[in-house]
């Protein structure tokens, strides 16, 4: 709502801050509700020129590791953070996970001993 209001009033700096807050709060720093964004992240966007200097990747990893630690507990029911990052990492470093019908060796390359 804030984004639409400031965009209509041509307050581009405010609209940009609202959009970035929504984007970062719903991806990198997403909590388990997936509906709320903490206002403390608004301080990151005080100076829009400085946003590119932040280490967003490290922040995403720290948040994901914290939520993975929570998810390893028996009482935890869901994972918070940025699960797409985890899925991309699994896809990159474990290429055979989830692939059906693939065998590690080809039968044509196997040499069977003769009797």
Span 70-108, pLDDT tens digits? 888 888 888 777 788 888 888 888 877 766 655 555 555
- The predicted structure's pLDDT at residue 107: 54
Q: Is 51 within 8 Å of 42 (Cβ atoms)?
A: no
- The predicted structure's pLDDT at residue 17: 82
Angle, helices 83-93 vs 56-71, to 10°: value is 90
**How many other C-beta atoms can be found within 10 angstroms of the C-beta atom of residue 16?**
16
Q: What is the pTM of this model?
A: 0.59
Question: What φ, ψ does residue 58 adopt, rounded to 5°?
Answer: -65, -40
Provide, rounded to the nearest whole percent, the portion of the chain with pLDDT above 90.
0
């Amino acid at each position: 709502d804030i984004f639409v209001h400031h965009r209509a009033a041509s307050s581009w700096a405010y609209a940009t801050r609202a959009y970035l807050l929504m984007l970062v709060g719903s991806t990198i720093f997403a909590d388990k509700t997936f509906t709320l964004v903490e206002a403390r992240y608004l301080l990151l966007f005080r100076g829009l020129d400085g946003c590119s200097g932040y280490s967003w990747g490290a922040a995403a990893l720290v948040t994901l590791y914290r939520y993975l630690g929570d998810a390893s507990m028996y009482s935890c029911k869901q994972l918070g953070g940025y699960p797409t990052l985890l899925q991309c990492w699994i896809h990159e470093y474990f290429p055979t996970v989830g692939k059906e019908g693939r065998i590690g060796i080809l039968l044509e390359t196997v040499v069977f001993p003769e009797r």
